[in-house]
Structure 1
Amino acid sequence: MSSDIFGGLFGTPARGKKSGSLFAKDDPVILTHDDVRDYNEDNILPQTPETLAKIREWLQPTGYDDDSSEYKKHLSFHLDGTGDWLLSSLRYHTWHDGSDNGLLWIRGIPGSGKSVLAASLIHRLLQEDVPVLYFFFRQTIESNHEPVAALRDWLAQVLKFSPPLQLRMKRILDQNRSLDSVSIDGFWSYLRIALAQLPKAYCVVDALDEMDQTEQTQSFLKTLAELGQSSYSKLKIVMTSRPLAIIEKPLRNAKFVSIRLEEDKVDRDIAVYVQDRLSTSSIPEEYHVVIQRAVPGNANGLFLYAKLAIDSFLRPEASIQQVLKNLPSNLDIMYRDILQEHATRSGMSQDIQILVMQWVTHAGRPLRLLEIAEIINTTQGSKTSLNLKDTKELVRAACGPLLEILPNETICVVHHSLTEFLTGSTTDPKTRNFPILEYGATHNLLAAQCLSYLLSRCLDEVQLQPRKLSFRPAHECPAVVNHDKRWLAAPFLKYAALNWHHHVRKAESAGFDQTAIRRLLNRLLDGENLLKWGALARVWRNYVDATPLLTAIDLGLVDFTRILLERPEEINDIDDAKTHSWALPRAARLGHHRIVDLLLEYGKDVNAFDSFFMPRQILSYGI
């Protein structure tokens, strides 16, 4: 994909229009007592760098400051001279300079440049040398769509400024608590510890509409708004989102400054962007004026439309007159035309193009180009007859500018609105003319491909270490010879081994028929395959856990648990007096309510022993 820029707050990095030098790794920062004195009225000593590193590791933040992060990516797209109207507006200064308005809500339609604006604001606010917390919600990134993920990132970002927070987090580490043991309210309380000590701080949160929409989300928004209006330091918050009722409702009683990315103002920025792209292009100057009129005129305030339109003019074989004549009337038609065009140009069948988009939009984490190429070669090899290198190039060309390939070769969609187009949530059926990626069917297909991949000789090369314990060998954990090197043996192995069950559960939750998956699970969760996969994925504590039924319960596989419960040999195995990992308490402890119901239906004892060989009523787990 072209390294030119995404969107009208978007520029071309190669021309030196980045907003600063943040693309080099920051030098290490050593904080002294004087550095934190203003943030630390109780004079609590900072923790050691080693302790801070352990706390950050425990928090499991996203790669928020990596070169491939959403922040760095969108900051690189910012074009000087765009967005200045917002920064000079009275409403922005009311929020930034005043003491009565701690909450700024920037609203705009999909593709209007909100994320680029958010990234440029983060960079601008960082120049004030005060803590700036930030998070980019993304439905297409597994780690970026839950509210608790934002809180963990914010704690990691503010940690170095707050010795009181450091001390509190160290105590949690000393208690050997797991991350899952802390509620979202607990994370909010830790954040308040830091904010209470800070004389000033900013928080920028992008794309609130891409959060998981649950009861927890509503609570998150209310708490965020309260912090922006509370006496906790001088915290100023910037939020961006689409103008949706589901976001507006929990903020109804909040006091905030609102700025809309209105079409006329955004169109002026789009004109700057189009002029910038044309000035460095090979397009003859005689066409510049007509393109400068046509693109902003059709963009209707969408930088993304402008970016894709200019890309179409810059194709080597493009006819300027023909592109002008066929400029789509909206973004959905643009998506449809680009997908059809690139399927034809690349020689890729629509089936494989759709498969690429299914992996990009529904994978549990962003996949690398090599990973997608290998799974296509493994499962679709008879249709492509290509080697791995050629398949990588085919994937690159499959969807043209609609897929973005980051420097580490991770692939993502160019914008969340493309995911909405593909899943059918925004398009008019009359103009669509492209298959809808159904949720249940897609996850079922991806689960089947992961399982087929594991069963296609991948596990044959996995070697288990011999058991070492002579006393109570059942309590030894199965292990793989050269475990870490084994991941490197096949590019897609790690994803398939660690994520197939997530896709199975999602397909199940959508009510998709599991007949084909059952056949694959009968092969994987049995005998040597079960031991090798379980040891590779490290899903057990010891050998007594390595049974099909216990594994299905651990993974929350409702349908397959039911199938196993119909087999007498599984019931006998799990009720063996030598086994202390009992099925019913295990399912209850993991919160798998539907499996608990199944086990009770099949006659399991409510008073069964738990996994620590202690009598435990199932009701005590809150079931």
Structure 2
Amino acid sequence: MTSANFHGGNHGAQIGYNYGSVTAEFRAHNNEDIDRICLQKLRCPDSLAVKTHLKETKDRLRRESFEWVLQDPQYRSWRNGNDVCLLWIKGGAGKGKTMMSIGLIEALSQEQDKTAVVTYFFCQNANNELNTLESVIKGLILRLVSQRGELKESLRSRWDPKNDRFSKDVSSWRALWDILWEMLDRCDCLRVYVMVDALDECQDSGITDFLRLIIRNGLDQPTKIKWLLTSRPLEAAERTLLAGHEQMQVSLELNSDYISQSVQTYISYKVNELNLRNRYGEALGRKLKTELFAKAEGTFLWVSLVCKRLEDIRADKALATIQDLPPGLHLFYDRILNQLREGQPDDVHNYMRLLKAMMLVYRPLKIEEVPSVTGLSSGDDTIKLLVNHCASFVRIQGNNIEFVHQSARDYLAGENGLAILDSYGRFEHYNIVLGCLSHLSEQLKVNLLDLPRPDTTKEFAKSLISERHNILLSSLDYATTFWVQHLQKVPLRAIAQSRSIDEGPVGSFLQNKLLEWLECFSLLDRFPKAVDSIKALQDMAKASI
């Protein structure tokens, strides 16, 4: 089982949750079993897996890019002092905050002993399993209990083994906060470092209240519990944080000299790497480094995107390519999107369809899921070629397609990007619903994997599932799990006009494929999601009436 798979499922599921189905056979009353069931029921995102994934998707972590922070007076006061409970690292898009967070997490983890522990979370706007306060707190809880097993008592004490459920509410972020704070308070370490990266990507209306709780509770134990947050400039943080001497800020913009030095080091690394491939020679290599540094404006991401484009550019065209590209991420994205529009009409339509779909989906797509969501031609090679043409916005990592950076998604969601995408045909949530239902209707059947007995156990079933079956399940994953969530985004008036719930495409699907759909949930090890989906459909049906 790799870190990129869900615990409890092995069908190439997206990084995020760590859970498995809980059935009667696992019900037990000893502490070890109850602890395991509590975590399975809580469905915590695995921050360690996310950190590993981020390191794989970005360039090799270089200590020079964040080492200056270790010597920063504000950081040292937070790290070593007894009065500062919170440090906020603030900087614009592409300034290297996430890689800095990874570096600081690993630096603190290397230094820690039995007297300290590090827990952390990485918010990701494009993944709805990683962009809520509920997810943040669950992820912090999982990292804590994985290092300090005795803290599982805070979950166990809330579990009702007789009824196989939590005896107290754990569904809201505020209820989860009480559990987290109880764990932090009970932890017998002298220091607990709590780090949340990219807080601005958390799509939750409770951010301000969350920050107030951090400060209010943090003031009680500033020596023991140390919070570190990173984000782009965030209005809620500006209003709430830095109100007293117990909180400090490191602004990347105010440390532009350090950032410039780090970017210069990064440019040298990237050009030297490209030189092995494109054979620039010493003189051209120096010119490329100079031109990149002059236009980078202290932004790692700009350098990364430009160097990605240089991979397939001949050496004699490399300098002119850099000179032709504008500085700044927004202008860069403008140029690239307009260049995409210059292709063949059918190709351009496909580029725009893919990008618009990526903006609407609830998590990064696997390559084999793209046809069911977008309606584009199937075939892995076709999809890969399509993604490669849009490489400044999206990329393939492993088997997943994801945005190269949150700033790329933000640009496409902006006025200019959205106008260009929509000019090639509107593509909305309802289009995804229809595509998913069409794909499921075509593929689903009774006993989808041709298992020999209806009471086949999960363990025995796994031994029978072939590679072909795994590919089939993987292609059905997104459509099965998320079409109802897309339907929830469709205005009720549009649902009523299309008779979607009772007589339209949705009604037809439910009448003909309901049991097969539920079976697919079970095979994907996602049956709790099936319950949520059925309830959502019931609520929408009542509302439409």
Counterparts of 1:374 and 1:284 in 2: how far apart (Å)? 47
Specify which of 363, 381, 391 is matched with residue 400 of structure 1: 391
Alpha-carbon distance change, 517 to 114 in structure 1, aligned in 2, over 3 angstroms = farther
1:176-191 correspondence to structure 2 within 5 Å: 176-178=164-166, 181-182=169-170, 183-191=172-180
Q: What residue identity is the alignment partner of 1:220? A: F
Secondary structure of 2:326's aligned partner: coil
Q: How does 1:208-607 map to 2 (within 5 A)?
A: 208-214=199-205, 216-231=206-221, 234-251=224-241, 253-254=243-244, 255-262=246-253, 263-280=256-273, 281=275, 282-317=279-314, 319-341=317-339, 349-372=347-370, 379-381=375-377, 388-407=379-398, 409-424=399-414, 429=416, 434-435=420-421, 441-459=427-445, 462=448, 488-489=471-472, 491-508=474-491, 515=497, 518=500, 519-526=504-511, 528-537=512-521, 554-556=535-537, 561=541, 594=543, 598=545
Check whether the contact 2:198–2:231 (CA below 8 A) recurs between aligned residues. Answer: yes
- The match for 1:35 is none
Please say which of residues 397-406 and 94-103 is displaced more in the overlay: 397-406
Instruction: Tell me the equivalent position of 2:527.
Output: none
Task: Give the conservation status (yes or no) of the 8 Å contact 1:348–1:398.
Answer: no
Residue type at the aligned position of 2:263? I
Shift, 1:90, TM fit: 1.6
Kept in 1: contact 2:127–2:362 (CA 8 A): yes
| Contact 2:436–2:480, Cα closer than 8 Å, also in 1 | yes
Hey, what's the Cα distance between the residues in 1 that align with 2:397 and 2:532? 36
Give the 3 Å change call, closer, same or farther, for CA 195–552 of structure 1 in structure 2. Answer: closer
Shift of 1:535: 4.2
DSSP 3-state at the match of 1:292: helix
Residues 348 and 394, structure 1, Cα contact 8 Å, conserved in 2: no
Identify the residue that residue 41 of structure 1 maps to in structure 2: none
**CA–CA separation in structure 1 for the residues paired with 2:296 and 2:105:** 26
Structure 1 CA distance for aligned equivalents of residues 77 and 412 of structure 2: 40
Question: Do 2:444 and 2:513's aligned partners in 1 also have CA atoms closer than 8 Å?
Answer: no
1:132 aligns with 2:118: yes
Shift of 1:205: 0.6
TM-score by length of 2: 0.78
Q: 1:165 aligns with which of 126, 151, 154?
A: 151
Letter in 1 for 2:359: T
Contact 2:169 2:175 in 1 (8 A): no
- The structure having more radius of gyration, on CA atoms, is 1
- Structure 1 segment 28-107 matched on structure 2, within 5 A: 50-66=33-49, 69-70=52-53, 72-73=55-56, 77-107=60-90
CA shift digits 1:141-171 (9 cap, x unpaired): 1111111111111111111454553223223
| CA displacement 1:501-529 (0-9 Å, x = unmatched) | 100101237x7676557232132122x32
Asked whether the 8 Å contact 1:78–1:116 carries over to 2, the reply is yes
Q: 1:171 & 1:551 partners in 2: Cα distance?
A: 26
For 1:119 and 1:454, locate their aligned partners in 2 and report how far apart those are by CA, in whole Å.
39
Decide whether the 8 Å contact of 1:505 with 1:557 is kept in 2: no
Q: Distance in 2 between matches of 1:396 and 1:249?
A: 40
Kept after mapping to 2: 8 A contact 1:195/1:233: no
Q: Give the counterpart of 1:202 among 183, 193, 213.
A: 193
Given that 1:63 and 1:69 are in contact with CA atoms closer than 8 Å, whether structure 2 keeps it comes out as no
Structure 1 residue 218, shift from structure 2 partner: 1.9
- Report the residue type matching 1:149 in the other structure: S
Deviations 1:469-510 (A, max 9, x none): xxxxxxxxxxxxx7995675354212212211100101237x
For the residues of structure 1 that align with 2:50 and 2:382, how far apart are their CA atoms? 26
- Cα drift, residue 270 of structure 1: 0.9
Q: Does 1:111 align with 2:100?
A: no
Cα distance in 2 between the residues matched to 1:300 and 1:323: 17
| Number of positions where the alignment pairs a residue of Structure 1 with one of Structure 2 | 485
Indicate conservation of the 8 Å contact 2:63/2:103, yes or no: no
What is the percentage of aligned positions where both structures have the same residue?
A: 22
- CA offset at residue 278 of structure 1? 1.6
In the alignment, residue 202 of structure 1 is paired with which amino acid? Y
Structure 1 residue runs of 5 or longer lacking an equivalent are: 1-22, 25-46, 382-386, 469-481, 540-545, 563-593, 599-623
How far did residue 328 of structure 1 move?
A: 1.4
Is the contact made by 2:429 and 2:490 (CA closer than 8 Å) also made in structure 1? Answer: yes
The change in CA–CA distance for 1:342 and 1:529 in structure 2 (over 3 A counts) is: same
Does the CA-based 8 Å contact 2:83-2:223 persist in structure 1?
Answer: no
Residues in 1 aligned to 2:322 and 2:103: alpha-carbon distance in whole angstroms: 32
Mapped contact 1:501–1:557 kept (Cα < 8 A): no
One-letter identity of the residue aligned with 1:313? L
Cα offset for 1:208?
Answer: 1.0
Contact 1:343/1:398 (<8 A) preserved:
no
Q: 1:456 to 1:515 in 2, by over 3 A?
A: farther
* CA distance in 1: counterparts of 2:393 and 2:366, whole angstroms: 16
Alpha-carbon distance in 2 for matches of 1:294, 1:513: 54
Give the Å deviation of 1:411: 1.8
Question: Structure 2 vs 1, CA of residues 53 and 322 (structure 1 numbering), >3 Å: closer, same or farther?
Answer: same
Q: TM-score, normalised by structure 1?
A: 0.69
Corresponding residue to 1:192 among 160, 181, 191: 181
CA distance in 2, matches of 1:202, 1:437: 48
Superposition deviation, residue 186 in structure 1: 2.7
SS at match of 1:507: coil
Distance (whole Å) between structure 2 residues aligned to residue 278 and residue 457 of structure 1: 47
The amino acid across from 2:152 in the alignment is Q
- Report how far residue 206 of structure 1 moved: 0.6
Task: After superposition, give the CA deviation of every residue in 1:175-209 in whole Å (9 maximum; x if it has no partner).
Answer: 42259931333322222222223321101111111
Aligned-partner SS, 1:127? helix
Shift of the 72–433 alpha-carbon distance from structure 1 to 2, 3 Å rule, reads same
Q: Whole-Å Cα distance in 1 between the matches of residues 129 and 532 of structure 2?
A: 25
**Could you tell which deviates more after superposition, 195-204 or 490-499?**
490-499
Is residue 162–residue 194 contact of structure 1 (8 Å, CA) maintained in 2?
no
Quote the Cα distance in structure 2 between the aligned partners of 1:433 and 1:298: 27
Change beyond 3 A, Cα 1:348–1:112: farther
Is 2:101–2:197's contact at 8 Å kept on the other side of the alignment? yes
1:388: Cα distance to partner?
Answer: 1.6
Q: State the Cα distance separating 1:298 from its structure 2 match.
A: 1.7
Deviations 1:316-358 (A, max 9, x none): 4461242133121321232233345467689961221122223
Q: 1:516 to 1:323 in 2, by over 3 A?
A: farther
- Give distance in 1, aligned partners of 2:327 and 2:292: 11
**For the structure 1 residues 551 and 208, does the alpha-carbon distance in structure 2 shift closer, same or farther, using more than 3 Å as the test?**
closer
Q: Per-residue CA shift, 1:570-590, capped at 9, x if unaligned?
A: xxxxxxxxxxxxxxxxxxxxx
Q: Which amino acid aligns with 1:170?
A: R
RMSD, aligned α-carbons: 3.8
- Report the Cα distance in structure 1 between the residues aligned to 2:122 and 2:179, rounded to whole angstroms: 21
